[in-house]
Amino acid sequence: MPSDVFQPDIFLINRKLIYTAKMGWPVMRVAALRKYTADVAAITPKEDQT
């Protein structure tokens, strides 16, 4: 069956998606948090310390 041929490819794609979900999304989340904290740090000290 052709499905037996494509099964390892689907398995590898699923592993890659799981790896991306575990590793890629936290990296993007950390980058977004860093950008957010940088924006907040750029705005709030001027308002708080005046």
| Local confidence pLDDT in tens for the 50 residues of the chain | 455 555 557 777 777 777 777 777 777 788 888 888 888 877 765 655 55
Tell me phi and psi for residue 31, to 5 degrees: -65, -40
Joined together, the tokens standing for residue 20 give 């991306």
Longest Cα separation, the chain: 73
Residue ranges per structural domain of the chain: 16-45
* pTM exceeds 0.85 for this model: no
CA distance 15 to 38: 34
The pLDDT of residue 5 is 54
